[in-house]
């Protein structure tokens, strides 16, 4: 399976080649892969910012403890979860489902109410945790798609969320920077690429019952 070989090829890139930029058609494929990600109830309660502006990348680097990936990578994907529970998001999803699947919205009303009840029952802490976790599902699709296209990536939690939110104006939009991923092409000087991948053996990682 080519996918397995590509996953063996990928690694968390520490040094990108700043002279290389992702082609527009490849970027569109990455966007589509993220768009097709699984999410709870299919809601996709997140927004993904794709940063290429050099000045903005420099500001974000300062808010990520000066890690070079932020400026050397071709683009930075910033996965942002919604911070507020809004029934409008669910209503929009139900309407989109009705239109896409050619189903009367009245038939989906019960499902929409079920989602609203389930999410409203969560405590504030549980909601925030659940909301941030949704972004990691999308991140996973991005990393896999990058590997398929031989584009390098580096998932990162090492940044100051509050500063990212301020720089990107996320608070005003009801969003929060949950996780980021610089993407681009590895530098020949990144010695990390030559290290053997360390993973748990299958017999330890898996238990068949």
State the pLDDT at residue 72.
98
CB-based contacts of 88-94 (< 8 A; 24+ apart in sequence):
89/43, 89/45, 90/43, 90/115, 90/116, 90/119, 93/41, 93/42, 93/43
Average pLDDT over residues 197-202: 97
Label residue 1 by pLDDT band (50, 70, 90): confident
- Is the pLDDT confidence value at 10 over 80? yes
The model carries a pTM of 0.97
The rounded distance, in Å, linking the Cα atoms of 73 and 177 is 18
State the pLDDT at residue 45.
97
Average pLDDT over residues 58-70: 98
- Domain parsing of the chain, residue ranges: 2-205
Which of the listed CATH numbers 3.40.50.620, 1.20.1250.20, 3.40.50.300, 3.40.109.10 matches domain 2-205?
3.40.109.10
State the pLDDT at residue 174.
97
């Amino acid at each position: 399976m080519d996918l397995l070989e590509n996953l063996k090829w990928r690694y968390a890139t520490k040094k990108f080649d700043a002279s290389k930029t992702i082609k527009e058609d490849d970027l569109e494929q990455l966007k589509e892969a993220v768009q097709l990600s699984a999410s709870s109830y299919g809601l996709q309660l997140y927004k993904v910012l794709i940063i290429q502006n050099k000045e903005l990348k420099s500001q974000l680097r300062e808010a990520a403890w000066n890690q070079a990936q932020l400026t050397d990578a071709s683009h930075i994907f910033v996965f942002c979860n919604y911070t507020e529970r809004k029934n409008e998001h669910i209503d929009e999803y139900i309407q989109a489902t009705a239109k896409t699947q050619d189903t009367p919205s009245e038939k989906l009303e019960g499902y929409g109410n079920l989602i609203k009840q389930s999410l409203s029952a969560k405590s504030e802490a549980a909601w925030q945790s659940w909301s941030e976790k949704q972004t990691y599902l999308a991140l996973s699709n991005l990393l896999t798609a990058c590997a398929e296209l031989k584009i390098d990536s580096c998932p990162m939690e090492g940044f100051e969320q509050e500063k990212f939110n301020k720089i990107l104006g996320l608070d005003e939009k009801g969003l929060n920077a949950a996780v980021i991923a610089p993407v681009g092409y590895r530098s020949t000087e990144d010695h990390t690429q030559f290290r053997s991948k360390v993973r748990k053996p299958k017999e330890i990682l898996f238990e068949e019952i």
